[in-house]
């Protein structure tokens, strides 16, 4: 597996692949790989001839109070895992090369997709994500890029940006990969103390509860939200950031749930670790 640090070298590699007639699938990541990342990489391999993984803890998507410095990192381990997953190139740029002196361009996707859900408590986050993903698409020139459905709003924002800016990249959504007990895999799970692990299950269990209530005929987003809030708060040290029932594409709030409705959740565990999860409620 090739390791490339510099954006210009990455683009040179991408041009060679294009010349040789090989398609590229990109998996953008912030590293600290787990099984979820590895399945994105395996899916990428089914969509193109060669797979590039980017590993960049993007500073512009972290707020001033967020965990940029503490974000878990382990380059050697990530390198071995990507290699084991059959990845051809690991692109790991330095922040100074992604954002050199004078950098002053930002891609902002409309507020109808970015102001609510995670955007409400993380102002500027999605502009940071859209800008870095747009840059990664320009640098790596992929035919396809794979993103996890766990970051449901991010996926909607990236789909919109890719269509609106004619970026010509096929966006492939990968279903959320879960631990056996239902917890959605996330690099942030490493922040959970053993005593908080049970509380972290409140998210996936809340989705299961919503599905059960929907199967029994409940359609009111308001009543479901009230029930789920109490359910989540019955776990120790949990604080709901949001519980939202939204349309899967427009992210507009749904009053009555239907087959297009996604339940999206963000919950703080122990005052510090903010976890997200989502899922459709009706089949």
The nearest distance, CB 154 to ligand PAF, in angstroms, is 6
Task: Pick the binder of ligand PAF from 48, 50, 133, 276 (CB under 6 A).
Answer: 133
Among 3, 17, 15, smallest CA distance to 92 is for 3
- What number of helices (H) and strands (E) belong to the chain? 11, 9
The nearest distance, CB 168 to ligand PAF, in angstroms, is 18
Contacting ligand PAF within 168-227 (CB under 6 A): none
Q: Distance of alpha carbon 176 from its chain centroid, rounded?
A: 10
Contacting ligand PAF within 30-89 (CB under 6 A): 30, 58, 61
Task: Pick the binder of ligand PAF from 28, 36, 93, 279 (CB under 6 A).
Answer: 28
Catalytic residue status for 6 = no
Query: In this structure, are strands 170-174 and 24-29 parallel, antiparallel, or unpaired?
Result: unpaired
Distance between CA atoms of residues 193 and 203, nearest Å: 17
CA angle centred on 281, ends 178 and 177, rounded to 5°: 15
Query: Is residue 224 within 8 Å of residue 210, measured between CB atoms?
Result: yes
Distance between CA atoms of residues 63 and 247, nearest Å: 27
Q: Between 48 and 133, whose beta carbon lies closer to ligand PAF?
A: 133
Q: Binding to ligand PAF by residue 129, rule CB under 6 A?
A: yes
Distance between CA atoms of residues 186 and 176, nearest Å: 10
Q: Which window, 129-137, 159-167, 221-229, 231-239, contacts ligand PAF (CB under 6 A)?
A: 129-137
5, 34, 37, 125: the catalytic one is 37
Contacting ligand PAF within 140-159 (CB under 6 A): 151, 154
Q: Between 90 and 221, whose beta carbon lies closer to ligand PAF?
A: 90
Backbone angles phi, psi at 278, to 5 degrees: -160, 165
- Catalytically active residues are 37
Where do contacts with ligand PAF occur on this chain (CB under 6 A)? 28-30, 58, 61, 129, 132-133, 151, 154
């Amino acid at each position: 597996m090739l390791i490339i640090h510099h954006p210009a070298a990455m683009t040179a590699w991408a041009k060679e692949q294009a010349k040789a007639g090989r398609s590229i699938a990109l998996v953008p990541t912030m590293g600290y790989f787990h099984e979820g990342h590895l399945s994105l990489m395996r899916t990428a391999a089914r969509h193109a001839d060669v797979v590039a993984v980017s590993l960049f803890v993007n500073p512009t998507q972290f707020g001033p109070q967020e965990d940029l410095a503490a974000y878990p990192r382990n380059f050697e381990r990530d390198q071995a895992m990507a290699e084991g997953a059959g990845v051809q190139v690991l692109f790991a740029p330095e922040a100074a090369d992604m954002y050199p002196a004078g950098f002053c361009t930002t891609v902002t996707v409309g507020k109808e997709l970015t102001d609510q859900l995670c955007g409400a408590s993380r102002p500027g986050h999605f502009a940071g994500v859209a800008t870095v993903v747009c840059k990664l698409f320009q640098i790596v020139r992929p035919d396809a890029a794979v993103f996890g459905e766990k970051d449901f709003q991010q996926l909607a924002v990236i789909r919109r940006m890719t269509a609106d800016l004619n970026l010509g990249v096929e966006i492939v959504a990968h279903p959320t990969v879960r631990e056996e007990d239902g917890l959605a895999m996330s690099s942030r799970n490493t922040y959970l103390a053993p005593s908080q692990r049970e509380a972290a299950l409140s998210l996936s269990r809340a989705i299961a509860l919503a599905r059960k209530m929907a199967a029994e005929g409940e359609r009111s987003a308001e009543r479901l939200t009230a029930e789920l809030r109490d359910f989540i708060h019955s776990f120790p040290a949990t604080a709901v950031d949001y519980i939202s029932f939204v349309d899967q594409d427009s992210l507009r709030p749904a009053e009555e749930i239907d087959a297009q409705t996604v339940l999206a959740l963000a919950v703080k565990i122990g005052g510090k670790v903010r976890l997200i999860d989502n899922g459709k409620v009706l089949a």
